[in-house]
Amino acid sequence: MVKFTISKGRYTYTHDQKYPCENVDIHHIILKSGRANYVFVYTSAVLVLASALYLYILGEKSISIVYYSLLFDIFLVKLLLRKPVKKESVVIMPAFGVQLETHYMSGKIVRCFVPIDKILKPVLVECVTPVTCYWTLSLMIRGESEMVLVFKSLHPPVKMLVHVWKALCAATDIKEEALNTCTTNN
């Protein structure tokens, strides 16, 4: 039973509750599939191979140029289409813990379970790189020096992350604090 859905840009957020009698919250971030990317990659690979064959047939060049272009095409396709993520899910079970799932286009699913008693606090973090700036949701884990990213591959907008953050705060019995907790002393 879908309770809530938001769509923005390439992402769709869905708050799902499969089991109405239980307190299991399921949050999905779904990447809208763009078939144009696949068409572009395969078309460019065919064009590179066709130009290499053209050079071989009409230019009487070595056959090695065809082999090199074929290797380049394989490298290009593997590079651009490696393990595309279809959706990432967060299954919150307040009595047990949080299960993080990553669903790939190939059908492979990677799951990670974090027990509820090991979660210190869910945190919204702003990540700044030289090229871009985005928000991410992380879990502070007791006894670990590194935080666990909730959405490892996708970078959904903060508007979607806030709903998952609030649900994680409620499950771990942590009061929701303001997103900006900086204080200044005068």
pLDDT tens-digit series, residues 52-67: 777 777 766 677 777 7
* CA 107 vs CA 32, 75, 85, 86, 140: distances in Å: 16, 22, 10, 9, 29
Domain boundaries, the chain: 2-32+83-171, 35-80
Pairing state between β 85-93 and 97-104 = antiparallel
Range of lowest pLDDT (78-87, 125-134, 173-182): 173-182
CA pair distance 162, 167, nearest whole angstrom: 9
List strand residue ranges (DSSP E) for 33-118, in order.
Answer: 85-93, 97-104, 109-115
User: So what's the pLDDT on residue 102?
Assistant: 94
Burial of 10 (0-12, 13-18, 19+ CB in 10 A): middle
Say what the pLDDT of residue 181 is: 44
Tell me: the pLDDT tens digits for 8-54?
Answer: 888 999 988 776 656 788 999 998 866 676 777 777 777 777 777 77
Q: What is the pLDDT of residues 75-111, one digit of tens each?
A: 777 766 666 788 999 999 988 999 999 998 878 999 9
The pLDDT-based confidence of 177 (bands split at 50, 70, 90) is low
Check if the beta carbon of residue 13 is closer than 8 Å to that of residue 156: yes
Helix intervals (H) in 62-146: 64-80
Give the Cα separation of 37 and 79 in Å (integer): 12
Nearest of 135, 122, 133, 125 to residue 166 by alpha carbon: 122
- pLDDT band at 176; cut points 50, 70, 90: low
pTM of the model: 0.72
Classify residue 48 by burial, with Cβ atoms within 10 Å: 0-12, 13-18, 19+. middle
What percent of the chain is predicted at pLDDT more than 90?
Answer: 38
CA 131 to chain centre: 18
Q: Classify residue 168 by burial, with Cβ atoms within 10 Å: 0-12, 13-18, 19+.
A: buried
